[in-house]
């Protein structure tokens, strides 16, 4: 479904991605890990059109994504969240979700007032547990609620491939657990790539893991395989992967 071949990104002579190959088949839940600066966010940026690679190909469902505009890639069914969540603070929760759900409509049809709540929005509200806050302004949400709203907006878009950049960063323990449940639900009927540092989260939810290091794919495999790999051990300096992943 998603295929990257020899993708390279260079920032002022610095190779953020240095020949990455990645294949994610339909329906998979893939975790992307690696130390800070490994190029995980850059990889998502390349797939979603925010960063243009210096070389390499990115194909989604037979479509070449390189050079395509961001909104066109979204229209192909690729959605993402951001490491620092961005929601529209002046709009209410339900308005945020509604905008996310309406992007396939012709622009002129948006010239009417929203009446009620569409099914996609309703679903996103229930899944993220934000029903109570539906009419509150998104500006008053807590950090965790914002991340959920962002996830909800992504769901309301009904994408086929979801790219989540550190969805539990900065969350409390309970919030993490809720997000984990949500992720399991989402993964049941979507293809998902998750960037996540949190090792406990990883151990609980990951099926297949790709480890990125200095812009290259270091290893790829199951959680057990990856945590047993000495190279991964080396990369997570001092921290034994068995500590990190297996705890």
Partner 1 sequence: MIRKHLPFATIAVLALVAAPLLLEPFRLSLLAKYLCYAIVALGIGLAWGQGGMLTLGQGVFFGLGGYSMAMYLKLAEGGGLPDFMVWSGVEELPALWTPFANPVFALGMAVLGPVAIAVVLGTLVFRQRVRGAYFAILTQALAAAMVILLVGQQGLTGGTNGMTNFFDLFGADLAADSTQRGLYLVVAGVLGVLYLATRQLVNSRFGRLLVAVRDGEDRVRFLGYNPATVKTVTFAASAGMAGLAGALFVPVVGIISPALLGVVPSLELVVAVAVGGRHALAGAVLGAVLMGYAKTAFSEQFADGWLYLQGALFILVMTLAPKGIAGILGRWRSARAT
Ligand X SMILES: Nc1ncnc2c1ncn2[C@@H]1O[C@H](COP(=O)(O)OP(=O)(O)O)[C@@H](O)[C@H]1O
User: 41 or 157: whose CB is closer to Mg ion?
Assistant: 41
Helices and strands in the chain, H and E counts: 10, 10
Residue 110: which of partner 1, ligand X, Mg ion, none does it interact with, CB under 5 to 8 A by kind?
partner 1
Quick check: 218 and 211 in contact, CB under 8 A? yes
Binding region for partner 1 (CB under 8 A) out of 3-11, 18-26, 73-81, 217-225 = 73-81
Binding of residue 157 to Mg ion (CB under 5 A): no
When asked if residue 16 is in the footprint of ligand X (CB under 6 A), the reply is yes
Using alpha carbons only, what angle is made at residue 169 by residues 161 and 209, rounded to the nearest 5 degrees?
50
Q: Kindly state whether residue 48 participates in binding Mg ion, applying the rule CB under 5 A.
A: no
Please state the closest distance from residue 199 (CB atom) to Mg ion, in A.
16
CB of 102 to partner 1, least distance (A): 6
| Residue with Cβ nearer ligand X (98 or 165) | 165
Residue 66 makes CB contacts below 8 A (sequence gap 6+) with: 52, 53, 56, 57, 58
In terms of Cα–Cα distance, which of 102, 87, 93, 90 is closest to 135? 93
Confirm or reject binding of residue 41 to Mg ion (CB under 5 A).
Answer: yes
Dihedral sign for Cα atoms in the order 238, 241, 242, 247? positive
Q: Which of residues 96-115 bind partner 1 (CB under 8 A)?
A: 98-100, 102-104, 107, 110-114
- Say whether residue 135 binds partner 1 (CB under 8 A): no
140 touches partner 1 by CB under 8 A: no
- Nearest distance from residue 152's CB to partner 1, in Å? 12
Phi and psi at residue 160, in whole multiples of 5°? Answer: -100, -30
Spatial distance between the Cα atoms of 143 and 166, rounded to a whole number of angstroms: 13
**From the list 3, 10, 28, 37, which residue makes contact with ligand X (rule: CB under 6 A)?**
37
Q: Is 128 in the site for ligand X (CB under 6 A)?
A: no
97 Cβ partners below 8 Å, 6+ apart?
120, 121, 124, 125, 149, 152, 153, 156
DSSP designation for 35: S
Q: 14 or 103, CB closer to Mg ion? A: 14
3-class SS of residue 80: strand
Element (H, E) at 15: strand 14-24
- Interacting residue with ligand X among 2, 20, 22, 34 (CB under 6 A): 34
Chain contacts with ligand X (rule: CB under 6 A): 11, 16, 34, 36-42
């Amino acid at each position: 479904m998603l295929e990257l071949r020899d993708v390279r990104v260079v920032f002022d002579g610095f190779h953020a991605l240095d020949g990455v190959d990645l294949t994610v088949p339909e329906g998979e839940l893939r975790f992307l890990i690696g130390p800070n600066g490994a190029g995980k966010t850059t990889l998502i940026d390349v797939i979603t059109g925010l960063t243009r690679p210096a070389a390499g190909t990115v194909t989604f469902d037979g479509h070449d994504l390189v050079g395509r505009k961001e909104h066109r890639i979204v229209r192909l069914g690729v959605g993402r969240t951001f490491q620092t969540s961005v929601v529209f603070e002046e709009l209410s929760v339900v308005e945020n979700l509604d905008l996310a759900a309406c992007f396939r409509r012709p622009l002129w049809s948006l010239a009417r007032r929203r009446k009620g709540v569409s099914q996609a929005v309703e679903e996103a509200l229930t899944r993220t547990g934000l029903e109570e806050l539906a009419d509150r302004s998104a500006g008053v949400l807590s950090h965790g609620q914002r991340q959920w709203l962002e996830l909800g907006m992504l769901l309301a878009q009904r994408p086929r491939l979801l790219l989540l950049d550190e969805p539990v960063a900065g969350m409390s323990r309970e919030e993490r657990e809720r997000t984990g449940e949500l992720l399991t639900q989402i993964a049941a009927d979507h293809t998902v790539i998750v960037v996540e540092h949190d090792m406990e989260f990883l151990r609980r939810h990951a099926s297949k893991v790709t480890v990125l290091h200095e812009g290259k794919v270091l290893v790829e495999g199951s959680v057990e395989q990856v945590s047993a790999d000495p190279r991964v051990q080396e990369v997570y300096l001092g921290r034994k992967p068995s500590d990190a992943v297996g705890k």
